[in-house]
Amino acid sequence: MIFMIRSAGGPGVRARRPGYHRPVPLRPPYPFHAALQTLQLPVGGGHVMHVQTFGAARGQPALVLHGGPGSGASPMLWRYLDPARYHIIVPDQRGAGRSQPRGRTQHNSTDHLLADLRQLRAHLGLARWLVVGGSWGAGLALAHAADEPSAIDGLLLRAVFLARDEDVHWFFQGAATVQPAAWQALASQAPAEARDSLLAWLADRLQQPQAAPREAAASAWWRWEQALAGRSDALVPTGDALAPVVDRYRVQAHYLRHGCWLQSPKLLDRLAALHGVPTLIMHSPQDRICRPEGAEALRGRLPQARLRWIDGAGHDPTHPAMVDAMVEALDHFARHGRFPVTA
């Protein structure tokens, strides 16, 4: 089932529906709230996973997976969920956010992350949880669900990234067709012989012992990503603010160079056990980082999944239409144990 929400009359209203004479106000995210618990969970290989929980200790367990890889969790990702109804669990993945050591790529792969999620669920004494993930977090949510299908109450997947060869190639090479000037600015940082393999060149620069090549590579990658997201005027982080960006892209390059370890078998080929798991996919037709073709391919593999197009949101998790749709879906799941059938 595929359906779409379109904003009509600007970002402060929702699309008019048949029989409605006035626009319906968009739902805001839930207010920021303090953590219930903060954990530093040793997970092996010298890594310590930073985990925070929010909301109602006896509420519906909900695991929130951040994107990247390497980005770390931000408050926006758990403000989609009602703290009065959900027990919200927010880990920073290995090498990301406040997990330690930040930016480390040793003993850091998708298999490690899946083992960490199994350990976290056991540590919290939870039998099952709803899983909410965006971008890479959506891909990791699918891999986790395929790894432990009996632990999954449902999947809410925003701007899904499947780690296919074509997804990675699009980001570093194919998207030059939609942002040619920004791509030339990125490619000009590399020698001519490396411009057909920008990911490998960036990954090598981000592993250099000297700060200058690492920072230059991270700044170039950051500008390119902002341009694809439609934020070409965003200011490049500098000084102390640049260090976490370098660490983020070091981890991300490490994962993307290895196809996120989701190639044998490919992620879409792992999903047979998920037939019947309530699944809702939220994606924008204008997403230039994770193209809509990925959402359509995923919908084709999961007969029970619903695909909801959020017009105009791009790859932005804070876009008002995306926030509205996410809050509505999660409120409905908290009340009924399933996602809404129609917009």
Encode pLDDT of 214-264 as tens digits.
999 999 999 999 999 988 888 889 999 999 999 999 999 999 999 999 999
Over its C-alpha atoms, the chain yields an Rg (Å, rounded) of 20
Residues 176 and 96 in one domain: no
Q: Which phi and psi (to 5°) does residue 34 adopt?
A: -70, 155
243 falls within a domain:
yes
**Residue 12: is its pLDDT beyond 50?**
no
Closest CA to 294 of 93, 159, 145: 159
Asked if residue 343 is part of any domain, the answer here is no
Are 59 and 146 within one domain?
Answer: yes
Q: Is 269 a catalytic residue?
A: no
Residue 341 lies in a domain: no
Question: 174 near 151, Cβ under 8 Å?
Answer: no
Residue 287 among the catalytic residues: yes
Are residues 12 and 116 located together in one domain of the fold?
yes
- The confidence score (pLDDT) of residue 342 equals 63
Query: Is there a single domain that holds both residue 129 and residue 178?
Result: no
Is residue 226 in a domain?
yes
Residue 6 lies in a domain: yes
DSSP state at residue 47? E
Residue 204 lies in a domain: yes
Same domain, 173 and 315: no
- Tell me the H-state helices in 173-210: 180-187, 198-206
What domain range includes position 231? Answer: 165-260
Q: Are residues 95 and 202 in the same domain?
A: no
Domain match, 179 and 129 both: no
The answer to whether residues 158 and 187 belong to one domain is no
Q: Are residues 143 and 171 part of one domain?
A: no
Write out pLDDT tens, residues 131-155: 999 999 999 999 999 999 999 999 9
CA 329: distance to chain centroid? 17
Which of 2-6, 279-283, 306-310 has the weakest average pLDDT?
2-6
Q: Which residue of the set 153, 247, 287, 331 is catalytic?
A: 287
* 63 located within any domain: yes
Q: Which of 116, 315, 316, 331 is catalytic?
A: 315
Please determine, for residue 76, whether its predicted confidence score (pLDDT) is greater than 60. yes
Q: For the chain, what is the mean pLDDT?
A: 93
How many domains does one find in the chain? 2
- Among candidate residues 233, 260, 287, the one where a domain is terminated: 260
**Domain ends where: 202, 229, 260?**
260
- 3 state DSSP class of 113: helix
Q: How far is residue 96's CA from residue 82's CA, in Å, rounded to a whole number?
A: 25
Which of 260, 288, 311 terminates a domain? The answer is: 260
* pLDDT at site 329: 98
Is 181 domain-assigned?
yes
Predicted pLDDT of residue 25:
83
E strand or H helix that includes residue 154: strand 152-158
pLDDT at residue 232, as a whole number: 80
Mean pLDDT across 275-287: 97
Catalytic residue among 7, 71, 135, 284: 135
Handedness of CA 266, 270, 275, 280 (dihedral sign): negative
Check pLDDT > 50 for residue 21.
no
Give yes or no: 135 in active site. yes
Task: Give the pLDDT confidence score for residue 22 in this predicted structure.
Answer: 54
Q: In this structure, are 115 and 169 located in the same domain?
A: no
pLDDT tens digits along 85-97: 999 999 999 999 9
16 with 68, same domain: the answer is yes
CATH code (residue 303): 3.40.50.1820
- Provide the pLDDT for residue 194: 92
Task: Specify the pLDDT at position 15.
Answer: 46
Together in a domain, 188 and 242:
yes
- Is-contact 225 199, C-beta < 8 A? no
Instruction: Determine the pLDDT at residue 233.
Output: 83
